[in-house]
Amino acid sequence: MPDDHRRAAVPDALERAGGLVPGAARAVSAETGVPEAHVWGVGSFFHLLARPDVDARVCTGLSCQLAGADALLDAARGAGVSCEGVSCLAACDRAPAVLRGRRVQPDATAETLGAEVPDWAGTIGPDGADPDRLAIDLAGEPDWSGTAFAKAEAMGADAVIEAIDVSGLQGRGGAGFPAAFKWKSVRGQPDETRYVVLNADEGEPGTFKDREVLLRRPDRVLEGLAIAARAIGARDVYCYLRGEFEIPWKKLADAIDRVGAAGLFPDVTFHMHAGQGAYICGEETALIEALEGKRGMPRLRPPFPTEHGLWGKPTLVHNVETIACVPAVVTRGGPWFKDLGVTGPGTKLYCVSGHVARPGTYEMPLGVSLEELVTAAGGYVGMLKAFSPGGASSGFLPASEKHRPLDFKSLADVGSMLGSAGVVVCNDTVAMPWAVKQQLQFFEVESCGQCAPCRIGTRFLREALDRHVADPRPAALAQVADVSWEMNEGSICGLGQAACLPLTTAMKWFPEEFGQ
């Protein structure tokens, strides 16, 4: 175990050393006892460590691209700023976003690139929602009373898990897996050292709701984590926040201090861990590897984290939003939560960005349609052409699907997914091959590189699309079906399994734009 903890210290030690500058690997190796090549392997995996001397990282996510990120990058380069493109910064509602150091600058322009970045938050809604019908209630005052936790303590673990079960709460991180199932599984493990992990690595392009929860309701997050820890029999909670979340980090750290000082959750200890720039660490087993101080490469499953997670111990991993629903489920009851949704249980934080009037985070009943969501967000900008309902991994749907319920099942039925509910709207000025290219590039650089179908397949598809754009003949895309099939069948994790969807769904719904 002491060895494990020294390894876990590697990413932080590299950050303190100023990133992967010459000699840093050797120094961190001496400090931690981890072989220097392995330190190098870790540092070179995470882009914030690997290239520490970049001053400005311009977001290349689809929403930021729609808002002129490319031009901004050119302008910054022209002005002699040390800059590069970076994957989605979880600020699609304030596009284009730029990362300065570890702080995200919203609404960036070439002129403001040198300016100081004050704390900020995004737009929330919908206006006029009834707080008694909201599980998270982003606009509500933080509640530091610990009422939900006290009630959970009085109910006992079994009753709490039962309430979660009745609520129908599904994971909000992407897969929609029933939460109660995981709680029961961890609680039933023979090993009594167990952990809770908060997944705040929010990186799915188009998604920024977890940021908003951390900024506005850190009380809900900590109380949910404490309830979960007690229910499954864990003492230690590890919060993994993406490295770009400097502002949310501070909010959560302050909240941890506050509940600690008040002695609200006496038997629960919160630990914070900063990501170092790698989308794949949102995948729960990659996140666990990263927490252990290793390269963030997803593990083979089974065994699942519930059985063999952090340091081999049973571990409950939850997304920020899932956890933030827990206090309301406990105080108001499972049936109340279940009843909030239209086609599925609960309310859902929908992130909407791209060509809409008021991009932001909207807490609405699970199963609203794009049309209802965009109405809440002030309407479309221009004429709707296509949308991506749940992050880059969900591919694209055509305007004709705008009345389909945005829930786990309805979207799966049409070959897409709700995923993280990062909805990106494209109007008719957008060429689909261009939009697809933004997504494919994302997967190509964010693949962990471990398994061949994903590492080679993502690049193969992007190169095929480039060939098609350069010379639109069907031959350019001849291998797409086979490669996509193989990526889905043969990849280790969800990244590779879904990475073909932007291309295959666009080819399906917009065949004419792909010469089909």
Partner 1 sequence: MSSQNPKRVPEEASDPSLSVTLDGETVDARPGETILELAERHGKDIPTLCHDPRLAPAGACRSCLVEVEGSRRLIPSCATPVADGQVVTTANDRIARHQKVLLALYLADQPDFAARGETPGGAQACELHAMADAVGAPTDWPKMEPLRVGREDRNPYVQFFPEACILCARCTRYCAEIESVSAISLAGRGAETTIATADDVSLLDSSCELCGGCIDVCPTGAMTEKMPVTAGRRGHVEPEKVVRTTCNYCGVGCQMDLHVEPAANDGRGRIERVVSPEAGTTTNDGNLCVKGRFAYDFVDHEDRLTTPLIRAEDGSLREASWDEALARTVEGLMGVHERHGADALAFVSSSRCTMEENYLVQKMARAVFGTNNVHQCAAT
Ligand X SMILES: Cc1cc2nc3c(=O)[nH]c(=O)nc-3n(C[C@H](O)[C@H](O)[C@H](O)COP(=O)(O)O)c2cc1C
Contacts with ligand X, 291-330, as mask; x by CB under 6 A: --------------------------xxx--x--------
Please name the residues in contact with 345: beta carbons below 8 A apart, sequence gap of 6 or more: 167, 168, 169, 170, 337, 338, 339, 366
CA dist 319 → 172, 198, 206, 284, 287 (Å):
6, 6, 16, 9, 12
Please name the residues in contact with 439: beta carbons below 8 A apart, sequence gap of 6 or more: 62, 205, 388, 392, 502, 503
Binding partner of residue 318 among ligand SF4, partner 1, ligand X, none, CB cut-off 5 to 8 Å per kind? ligand X
Read out DSSP for 60-116?
Answer: -SHHHHHTTHHHHHHHHHHTT--EEEES--S-GGG-S-EEETTEEESS--TGGGGS-
CB of 150 to ligand X, least distance (A): 24
Nearest to 410 by CA among 347, 366, 346, 349: 366
Q: Which stretch binds ligand X (CB under 6 A): 157-165, 172-180, 224-232, 259-267?
A: 172-180
Please report which helix (H) or strand (E) contains residue 397, including its range: strand 397-398
CB of 512 to ligand X, least distance (A): 31
Q: Does 175 bind ligand X (CB under 6 A)?
A: yes
Q: Which stretch binds partner 1 (CB under 8 A): 31-39, 117-125, 153-161, 430-438?
A: 31-39
Q: Does 204 bind ligand X (CB under 6 A)?
A: yes
CB of 390 to ligand SF4, least distance (A): 18
Among 126, 233, 449, 515, binds ligand SF4 (CB under 6 A): 449
Q: Does 445 bind partner 1 (CB under 8 A)?
A: yes
Q: Is 377 exposed, middle or buried (0-12, 13-18, 19+ CB in 10 A)?
A: buried
Of 137 and 283, which has the nearer Cβ to ligand X?
A: 283
| Three-state secondary structure call for residue 239 | strand
CB of 455 to ligand SF4, least distance (A): 5
- The CA distance from 345 to 331, in Å, is 16
Of 410 and 447, which has the nearer Cβ to ligand X?
A: 447
Nearest to 353 by CA among 56, 59, 100: 59
Torsion angle of the four alpha carbons 306, 307, 312, 314, in this order, in degrees rounded to the nearest 10: 50
Q: Does 392 bind ligand SF4 (CB under 6 A)?
A: no
Among 19, 367, 453, 502, binds partner 1 (CB under 8 A): 453
Which residues sit at the interface with partner 1, rule CB under 8 A? 22-23, 25-26, 29, 35-41, 44-47, 50, 278, 295, 299-300, 308, 444-453, 455-460, 463-464, 467, 479, 482-483, 485-486, 489-492
Which residues sit at the interface with ligand X, rule CB under 6 A? 171-175, 177, 199, 201-204, 280, 282-284, 317-319, 322, 493-495
Which residues sit at the interface with ligand SF4, rule CB under 6 A? 280, 297-298, 447-451, 454-455, 491-493, 495-496
